[in-house]
Amino acid sequence: AKEQGRNTIRFVSDMADRDQERRALYIQNKLAKAIKGQELRVWFQPIVDAQTRKVVGCEALARWHDDTYGWVSPATFIPMAENLGLIRELGHQIWIQTVESMQRWKRLGIALRVAVNVSRRQLFIPSFTADLLDDLAALDLSPADIDLEITESVAMEDAEHTTKRLLELTASGFGIAIDDFGTGYSSLSQLHDMPATKVKIDISFVRRVHLPQGEQLIQAIVKIASAFELSTVAEGVEDEATAALLCALGVQSLQGYHFARPMDADLFEAYLLERKDA
């Protein structure tokens, strides 16, 4: 009976695996179609100044709605697009939608910095910098209003190539934000050599700020950032106590559900207009 029990369990987990595999294949197919059909949309989440609480910027975040599975998380579909070789196309579509929105905000008299997430593969497109500059020039926008977000682990992989590319981007006027800062493996010397302008303190540190040593950890990150002349943004701020503490610890900008969730372009525009002269 024991033997059979084990077999049964193995059989069930096999089924579950195969089921999951089938589901993954299905989602991949749907994603490929959605990217080819330009169905993905950019949403925006505000970033506020920690002291004045005014909206100073936003992060562009990709969103995908599938008619079978509903909203699929970017944490699922971004790595999938990377594996399918479709991340450049996805990145390009999100970028174009982002700069078109920026142009609309500019016409409305609203100035704000925009952060755009960039995947490792995109950094290997030879004409990456030139393409971005062309798109901006066509809309009369400036790279000085844009932060390209690169995760710490990507920034430190192929450090030589990445550093060269990031130097080219900063020389062209883009800001470079190290995303999910504190979760990678960068040494202080690598960080020193990294042509970045900003660090985004990872949500895991923000969550721990009220735990023992949590405060000291944020303080240490703020000190390192300031030593390297990097500005600081904290992501995942979900309540006022956390916002106030981060501000007291010297974090410059804040992003999180406490202020607003990511919104589609229309809703975000209304949100900006509501706050424009406030």
List residues bridging with 254 in a β-sheet.
Answer: 48, 234
46 sits near ligand C2E (criterion: CB under 6 A): no
Position among 145, 147, 152, 180 found at the interface with ligand C2E (CB under 6 A) = 180
242 sits near ligand C2E (criterion: CB under 6 A): no
Which of 28/63 has CB closer to Mg ion?
63
Residue with tokens 């059909």: 37
184 binds, among Mg ion, ligand C2E, none (CB under 5 to 8 A by kind): none
Which of 145/235 has CB closer to Mg ion?
235
Helix%, strand%, coil% for the chain, nearest 5: 55, 20, 30
74 sits near ligand C2E (criterion: CB under 6 A): yes
Own/partner long-range contacts of 30-35 (Cβ < 8 Å, ≥24 apart): 30/66, 30/68, 30/69, 31/64, 31/66, 31/72, 31/77, 31/80, 31/81, 31/84, 31/86, 32/84, 32/86, 34/64, 34/66, 35/81, 35/86, 35/89, 35/90, 35/93
Q: Which stretch binds ligand C2E (CB under 6 A): 138-146, 188-196, 221-229, 250-258?
A: 250-258
**CA–CA gap between residue 254 and residue 235 (Å, rounded):** 6
62 sits near ligand C2E (criterion: CB under 6 A): yes
119 binds, among Mg ion, ligand C2E, none (CB under 5 to 8 A by kind): ligand C2E
**Least distance in Å: CB of 83 to ligand C2E?**
13
**CA–CA gap between residue 43 and residue 63 (Å, rounded):** 7
How many chain residues bind ligand C2E (CB under 6 A)? Answer: 24
Tell me which residues touch ligand C2E (CB under 6 A): 45, 61-62, 73-75, 78, 91, 94, 117-119, 149, 179-180, 203, 235-238, 255-257, 262
